[in-house]
Amino acid sequence: MPEDYTPDVRTDYIAQMMDISLCLKRPSRMGDSKRMRMTSNFQWLLLTVLLLYLMNQVNSQKKRTPRDLKCITNNLQMWDCSWRAPSGAGHGAAYEVCFENGSHSCYRLEKNIKLPALLPGDHEITINPLHDFGNFISKFTLNEKNVSLIPDAPEILDLSADFSTSTLHLKWNDKGSVFPHHSNVIWEIKVLRKKNMEIVKLVTHNTTLNGRDTVHHWSWISDMPLECTTHYVGIRFYIDDPQFSGRKEWSDWSPLKNISWSPDSQTKVFPQDRVLLVGSDITVCCVTQEKVLSAQIGSTYCPLIHLDGKNVAIKIRNISASESSGTNVVFSVEDNMFGTVIFAGYPPDIPQKLNCETYDLKEIICTWNPGRPTFLVGPRNTSYTLFESFSGKYVRFKRVELPTNESYQLFFQMLPNQEIYNFTLNARNPLGQSESTLLVNITEKVHPHIPTSVKVKDISSTAVTLSWHLPGSFAKIKLLCQIEINKTNSVHELRNVTMRGIENSSYLAAVDKLNPYTIYTFRIRCCTDPFWKWSKWSNEKQYLTTEAIPSKGPDTWREWSSDGKNLIIYWKPLPINEANGKILSYNVSCSSDEETQSLSEIPDPQHKAEIQLDKNDYIISVVAKNSVGSSPPSKIASMEIPNADLKIEQAVRMGNGILLTWNYDPNVTCDYVIKWCNSSRSEPCLMDWKKVPSNSTETIIESDQFRPGVRYNFFVYGCRNQGYQLLRSIIGYVEELAPVVAPNFTVEDTSADSILVKWEEIPVEELRGFLRGYLFYFEKGERDTSKMRVLESGRSDIKVKNITDISQKTLRIADLQGKTSYHLVLRAYTDGGMGPEKSMFVVTKENSVGLIIAILIPVAVAVIVGVVTSILCYRKREWIKETFYPDIPNPENCKALQFQKSVCEGNSALKTLEMNPCTPNNVEVLETRSTVPKIEDTEIISPVAERPEDSTDAQPENHVVVSYCPPVIEEEIVNPGADEAGGASQVIYIDIQSMYQPQAKPEEEPENDPVVGTGYKPQMHLLVTSTVEDLAADDDLDKTAGYRPQANVNTWNLVSPDSPRSTDSNSEIVSFGSPCSINSRQFLIPPKDEDSPKSNGGGWSFTNFFQNKPND
């Protein structure tokens, strides 16, 4: 921008202000420092006021002068300069503008000035306003750098549209003639849509100004059909001139132009039948006056995009390949539907494997593979054009789209005298095009047609002539033809024939080295030289050559009949290649040194003859005849040399047959003969034979008659001058199988612990292999209780015996149980597998030794028990007698209750014991008057009372518990005996609160203290000792009247079974027995003295059972 040049008045103001400022800042030398600080603030305030005044004067002066000079250019040739008018200037104010551009020029004008482009550098411009309010002149410095290049807005010449492709075409003029030199131009084009001016495209386009007006074109394909809404286009440009150093700016936008489609009253959908690339995006719209409810592509609904009015659109992204009928797009309104079809596919692929060749040098066939399917059919499918550049000719082909890739072909007529062709194959469809090229010498690309009309003609029995027809004009090239010769059961043979091509296309070739009377099949194919491709094979031609004399005699063998009187001659039919014709008959003859014998002719179907001969040596001859002649004779000797060292061997199939070997024998001069037959057939056994040269030591026997599981006998004969000798005899199988039957076995013998089994051999026909052994299973089992289980050698309850000695026919099974059922199973096996099983149930015999032992053991046990029992009973006889059979006392001999006569007679108060009901009481002796043992306090217990639990304090020696229930009586007891110590004691019977209360041990009294008292004298508490004291002195008591005991005290058993002390193992107290008076049923208390009976140890103690008595 140019700078304003300041007037002179403004300079004077500035100078004055500077002087004032300097005066205010200069300090006074006469004032002190305090005064200086006070005045400094005042100086600064005054200076600020002066500056504000000065600035106001300057601004007021500027408003009265022109300012803000600006210059622009739109063509680089003229500068258009303008400035701001001073304040107060009227609308028609005039100015004088002067500038220097090589010369001084001044112009009088109103506001702007158009200057020619100034030279580079600074230029001074003076603007003097011509008005009445003062003379203020403005000066500016102007340079090209301060000038802006702003081109004029461009103008669109034309905007058109191709609605079928939704393409806008824009055309405008760059007006390059107004610019002085070439410049680069950048155009910016914007496309707007709908009434709201939505920008949908903003692109740049580069061109060059060349000094003349140029019309430019630009096209744009809309993603939305142009019929859907109005489209607007505007442009502007920017000149990039490297020679211009000023600022460059965009021009203004051109006026907008629009493209719209005028719809009719009908609803329509756009685009119609559009072809798209797979994966593309497309916008489909519906132009309508009705409200659209929904839109869908195929079966998929799409959201609606609202356009102007009621028009709507949908956006379809990444569209997939269409079916052959295309993809439907449907818009639905309230009562109708509208739609279009979209075809999505691919552009044509580059034709692949383009190849051009000829069949007959008349027409060229070009084939190719179309590559990837385009998925476009009908009028949108791919069309092909084959163009030949040397001749300029072309042919067209429009293929039919198929779902699979296939080869296509075009035919191009060959041109005369042209061998080299340059082909270009172009493929085109609505989405694009592609091409492929090929340069070919057609004479090297000949693929002949199939030879036809093949014929065969005889030359001889071993040669023929073939003829055929080959379409085409091959006069200038060579042909190579291949003849394939096939005959039955033989490898086909190929023969090549080279020949010059001919115009009539008929060719001949001779074929020799054939076999007579043989059916041959011929076929032919041809190619050119140099080789390109073989033609296809012609149809087969079958031909039978003529007959010839048989080239060899039949293969012959002989066998003697079973009775040895006749010789049977066998021969095989001659192979076709040796018969050389149809064999009609055979001649058989035998000769010896003496004679020759001939048989009648034998017709062909028969291949055996029988001659009655003796054992002499004969030569047998067999001759075959056909319609041409007889074969050479086949001879064989009738003599057979014996062999004493012959052994039978085994052989199994190896590979495709049975391998037989033998040692080399130099004595074999002619050949070896291997004969075989089924071993089950009767003699003579013959199925077939095979002859092997004499230098061989092995051969493999193969035959279609061999069957698996059948045994065959093989015999190897060696031929010598005087006859054949059997060298080896072999049995074998081509394949071993498992036996079909089980061995038939029986039980020969059974015992208590073993079974003897015997079985028979399996016949050869049912064995079906070499027997390798037997498996014998046995287990416990009943026939009626369990079914036969699967035999498994791994089970512990099944015993298995493997018998590998095939000569063994019996087996004894030992270690069995007697009288037990066993399940026996026998199976045979070969290398081919395990045969079926045969089973039986056998019961072993009863074991007599075991029975005897079973009887003897109980008897012995019983005897031992009896002996032991007898010994124990003997040792315990007294105890047994006393326990189980005690002596029953005689009451007459009982003296227990007898009293001395003197006592009874002298005491009138003595009377018998009365029986009254009583309860248990204690007897307490209060006073002792005699030497009779003192009656201790005795616990009287009821006979039914139980034993007290605590009996540890009892003293069995001086305390006896008895059962006694006397009446409560108090009386004196007088000693009746004269020899006893005097004295009496008073017995008082007192009720006892507790009959089980323990009693204190009484003190010892003199043994000879007599009992004093009269009347009833109870039994005394007897002392238990080991021996019985002398009680003889009391014998006189037997004569006493009154109370008499049942028995003598000596016979009492002191311990009753009911006594609590009877179970004490440490006590020697025993039962009292039954010490009752004759007149009383009460238990009585025995006397307590040393003469009481001793316990005899007769209790039920378990220890007494095994304890001996002292006297034993």
User: If DSSP codes are grouped into helix, strand and coil, which group holds residue 352?
Assistant: strand
* The pLDDT of residue 1061: 40
User: If DSSP codes are grouped into helix, strand and coil, which group holds residue 660?
Assistant: strand
Q: Where are the beta strands (DSSP E) in 489-573?
A: 493-500, 506-511, 519-529, 541-544, 556-560, 566-571
Torsion of CA 26, 27, 30, 32, to 10 degrees: 180
Cα gap 404→8, rounded to integer Å = 98
* The pLDDT of residue 495: 94
H-helix or E-strand containing 236? strand 231-240
H-helix or E-strand containing 613? none
Are 673 and 689 in contact by the 8 Å Cβ rule? The answer is yes
Are 444 and 396 in contact by the 8 Å Cβ rule? The answer is no
Q: How far apart are the first and last CA of the chain?
A: 169
Question: If phi over 0 gives left and psi between -120 and 50 gives alpha, with beta otherwise, what is residue 472?
Answer: left
Q: What is the 3-state secondary structure (H, E, C) of 869-884?
A: HHHHHHHCHHHHHHHH
Question: If phi over 0 gives left and psi between -120 and 50 gives alpha, with beta otherwise, what is residue 50?
Answer: alpha
Cα gap 686→715, rounded to integer Å = 10
Mean pLDDT per 10-residue segment, the chain (1112 residues)? 41 49 47 58 80 68 68 85 70 72 70 76 78 64 84 92 91 88 91 90 92 91 89 93 87 91 79 90 90 91 90 92 88 91 93 92 92 88 92 81 67 90 94 94 92 93 93 87 89 91 85 91 93 94 92 90 86 89 91 78 88 84 92 88 82 79 86 86 78 89 86 89 84 90 91 90 90 90 59 66 91 87 92 90 81 86 92 87 79 60 48 53 52 40 39 40 43 39 40 40 39 43 40 42 48 43 40 45 47 44 43 40
Instruction: Report the candidate in 1082, 1081, 1083 with the shortest Cα–Cα distance to residue 1053.
Output: 1083
* The pLDDT of residue 234: 95
Buried b / exposed e across 1023-1060, counting CB within 10 Å, b at 16+?
A: bbbeeeeebeebebbbebbbbbbbbbbebbbbbbebbb
CA 930 to chain centre: 120
DSSP category for residue 916: -
Angle CA 562–567–570, to nearest 5: 105
Are 1072 and 1052 in contact by the 8 Å Cβ rule? The answer is yes
DSSP category for residue 889: P
- Give 404-472 as a DSSP string: S---EEEEEEPPTT--EEEEEEEEEETTEEEEEEEEEEGGG-B-PPPPEEEEEEEEETTEEEEEEE--S
H-helix or E-strand containing 24? helix 8-25
* The pLDDT of residue 922: 58
User: If DSSP codes are grouped into helix, strand and coil, which group holds residue 989?
Assistant: strand
Question: Rounded to whole angstroms, what are the CA distances from 361 to 450, 783, 792, 919, 1093?
Answer: 15, 94, 82, 163, 165
Tokens of 589: 């003859």
Within 8 A by CB and 6+ apart from 44, the residues are none
* The pLDDT of residue 44: 82
Within 8 A by CB and 6+ apart from 695, the residues are none
* The pLDDT of residue 426: 95
The maximal CA–CA distance of the chain, rounded, in angstroms, is: 216
Tokens of 1080: 């009383």
* The pLDDT of residue 389: 93
Strands 723-733 and 640-641: parallel
Look at the block and give the residue holding tokens 């304003």.
4
Cα gap 1005→1011, rounded to integer Å = 12
Tokens of 380: 């949108």
Look at the block and give the residue holding tokens 């315990």.
876
DSSP category for residue 539: P
* The pLDDT of residue 390: 92
Are 829 and 774 in contact by the 8 Å Cβ rule? The answer is yes
Are 686 and 560 in contact by the 8 Å Cβ rule? The answer is no
Q: What value does the CA radius of gyration of the chain take, rounded to a whole number of Å?
A: 78
Cα gap 142→79, rounded to integer Å = 11
Within 8 A by CB and 6+ apart from 9, the residues are 61
